[in-house]
């Protein structure tokens, strides 16, 4: 299967652009998870980005250590038990599962820190929850440490830098190398093989393109602006919104999210 190329002027799936819900009641529910005592910018930014992307209802789950600093400044913010260092603790699993069951999709937005309890929490959540989950930024480090969390989990999207993709491929012992001097055709072949072998889907940037790979299908969209811009959170949030509005159409909806204003 060849690389499917699109531009903003020529989207691959124009029908998804024209059929977006106009009523917020039908625009889906997104749960954003992230933050720790030292950082809450990622979930706060994701909340604003999700509103701009047209999500119907957005809720944010933060560790309880942020309650005093964030307080009521973040609309629809809720809190779950945290560790002494201020990250999510394993006791947060009940709240996380309940809110994820309410939502049509869950975005692990980042700033979750490096903590052994948070690692166990994320592991249990990904094992137990059935539904759409997007992971990005430092959440990727947890799945790199334990790739089995996503290898055979359907409805899973990872939005990661090319260097993170290299490390994930190495951790999985994937036989094809994601080298920095890779050609466009070779990268397409690698992404196709990766997502044919495993159940999760991928968004990454390289060679001036944003690539979406899912179930052996691969699309490319030109990067607008410098490739080193902090792009992962914005792309992950918009992708999560369009995906939950088009369940069962991960490849089409995530590819389309890259050309939505």
- Encode pLDDT of 133-180 as tens digits: 999 999 999 999 999 999 999 999 999 999 999 999 999 999 999 999
Instruction: Please give the tally of structural domains in the chain.
Output: 1
φ, ψ dihedrals at 108, nearest 5°: -85, 100
How do residues 31-68 score in pLDDT, each as one tens digit? 999 999 998 899 999 999 999 999 999 999 999 999 88
How do residues 90-143 score in pLDDT, each as one tens digit? 999 999 999 999 999 999 999 998 899 999 999 999 999 999 999 999 999 999
Cβ atoms of 93 and 124 within 8 Å: the answer is: yes
How do residues 3-34 score in pLDDT, each as one tens digit? 999 999 999 999 999 989 988 888 999 999 99
Could you tell me the pTM of the whole model?
Answer: 0.96
Cβ neighbour number for residue 13 with a 10 Å cutoff: 20
Query: What pLDDT shows up at residue 228?
Result: 60
Band (261; pLDDT cuts 50, 70, 90): confident
DSSP-assigned states of every residue in 113-133: -S-HHHHHHHHHHHHH--SEE
Is residue 243 scored above 80 in pLDDT?
Answer: yes
Is residue 226 scored above 70 in pLDDT?
Answer: no
If 0-12 CB within 10 Å is exposed, 13-18 middle and 19+ buried, where does residue 5 land?
middle
Is residue 255 scored above 80 in pLDDT?
Answer: yes
Average pLDDT over residues 254-261: 95
Query: What pLDDT shows up at residue 132?
Result: 99
Cβ neighbour number for residue 40 with a 10 Å cutoff: 22
Range of the domain at 39: 4-257
How do residues 64-73 score in pLDDT, each as one tens digit? 999 888 766 7
CA 152 from centre of chain: 16
Cβ atoms of 28 and 105 within 8 Å: the answer is: yes
Domain with residue 85: its CATH number is: 3.40.1190.20
């Amino acid at each position: 299967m060849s690389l499917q190329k699109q531009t903003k002027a020529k989207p691959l799936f124009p029908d998804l652009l024209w059929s977006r819900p106009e009523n917020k009641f039908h625009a889906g529910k997104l749960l954003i998870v992230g933050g720790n005592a030292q950082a809450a910018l990622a979930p706060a930014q994701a909340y604003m980005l999700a509103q701009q992307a047209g999500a119907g209802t957005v809720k944010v789950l933060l560790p309880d250590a942020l309650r005093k600093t964030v307080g009521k400044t973040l609309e629809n913010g809720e809190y779950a038990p945290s560790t002494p260092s201020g990250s999510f603790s394993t006791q947060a699993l009940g709240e996380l599962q309940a809110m994820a069951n309410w939502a049509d999709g869950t975005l692990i937005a980042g700033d979750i820190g490096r903590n052994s309890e948070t690692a166990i929490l994320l592991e249990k959540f990904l094992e137990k929850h059935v539904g759409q989950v997007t992971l990005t930024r430092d959440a990727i480090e947890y799945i790199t440490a334990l790739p089995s969390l996503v290898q055979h989990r359907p409805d899973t999207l990872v939005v990661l830098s090319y260097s993170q993709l290299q490390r994930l491929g190495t951790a999985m012992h994937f036989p094809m190398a994601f080298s920095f001097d890779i050609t466009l055709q070779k990268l397409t072949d690698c992404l196709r093989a990766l997502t044919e072998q495993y159940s999760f889907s991928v968004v990454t940037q390289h060679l001036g393109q944003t690539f979406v790979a899912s179930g052996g299908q691969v699309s490319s969209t030109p990067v607008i602006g410098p490739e080193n811009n902090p792009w992962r959170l914005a792309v992950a949030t918009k992708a999560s919104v369009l995906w939950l509005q088009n369940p069962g159409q991960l490849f089409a909806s995530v590819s389309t999210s890259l050309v939505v204003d």
